[in-house]
Amino acid sequence: MAEELQKVHLYYDEINKVKVIENNVYKETQDLQENCKDYENKVRDFGNIIGSLLDMLNKLGENVEKQKMAAIGATNLLKSIEKDRESEQARLQAEISDKSLILEQLDSEYDALQILDATQSETVEYLTQLR
């Protein structure tokens, strides 16, 4: 009887229920359904993971952008400091040259006064010797 039923594509299962599809096929369909569910879950998980990754990457990007700006700012600051230092150096150099000019003046004045002192003491000595 079962075979006749098979001919009209009706089957018995283990608990003798009448089915329109073959037992094996039914089983495989069931498996497929489960697998599909599994797959769906996994895809959802993957979606979640990717979402969080994107979030993270976005955050990272923002951070990098921020750091980049900070770095550019720091470089500019450094450059300006460099320039400041240069102008400060130039200023100090000018001051040094001014001061050294004054020093030169005073040096030569001192030398001249020493020579004068020497001549005068020579004269004094000469006159004392005469006495």
Partner 1 sequence: MKFKISSFKEPKHVGAVSCVGWNNTEDVFSCGDDHKLLKWNLVSGECLVITTFPEDFYPICLHLFPKINLGGNKHNDVILIACADGKFHIMNNNGRIEKSVNAHQGACLAAQWSPDGAGLLTAGEDGFVKIWSRNGLLRSTVIQSDVPCYSAIFNSDSSAILYTKGNSLVIKHLNSSSKTTKWKAHEGVILCVAWNANNNLILSGSEDGYSKIWDQFGQQISVSVKHDQPITSVSWSPAGDMFVIGSYNLIRLCNANGWSHCLERPSTGSIYSIVWSSDGTQLAAACANGNVLFAHIIEREYAWKNYTCTQTGRKVISIKDIITDQNDQLDYPDRVIQIALGFNHLVTATVKQCFIHKLTSWNTPVTFDLKEGTISMILLAERCICVIERAGISVYSYMGRLLASPRCSRPETLGRAAVSLGPDALALIDQSDRKIIQVFDLPTGLIVRSSTDNTVTKLIHKMTVSSIALSQSGPINERQIALLDYNRDLYVVTVKDSKPKFVKLGSQILSICWSAETELLVGLRANSAVAWCCPRAAYKSDWLALTTVTKDITDLGRNPSLLSVEDGVACICRGNGSRTHISLASFPEKLLKHVDANMWQDALQLCRTVEDETLWACLAVLAWQHNQLAIAEEAFALIHHYYQVCYIQHLRSTIPEKLTT
Residues engaged in binding partner 1 (CB under 8 A): 87, 90-91, 94-95, 97-98, 101, 104-109, 112-113, 116, 119-120, 123, 127, 130
Nearer to partner 1, 74 or 96 (CB): 96
CA 1 from chain centre, in angstroms, equals: 80
Interatomic CA distance for residues 45 and 34, integer angstroms: 16
DSSP string, 58-101: HHHHHHHHHHHHHHHHHHHHHHHHHHHHHHHHHHHHHHHHHHHH
CB of 83 to partner 1, least distance (A): 12
CB of 76 to partner 1, least distance (A): 21
CB of 104 to partner 1, least distance (A): 7
Nearer to partner 1, 62 or 98 (CB): 98
Nearer to partner 1, 20 or 130 (CB): 130
CB of 65 to partner 1, least distance (A): 36
Nearer to partner 1, 45 or 122 (CB): 122
Of 26, 4, 3, nearest in space to 14 by CA: 26
Interatomic CA distance for residues 129 and 131, integer angstroms: 5
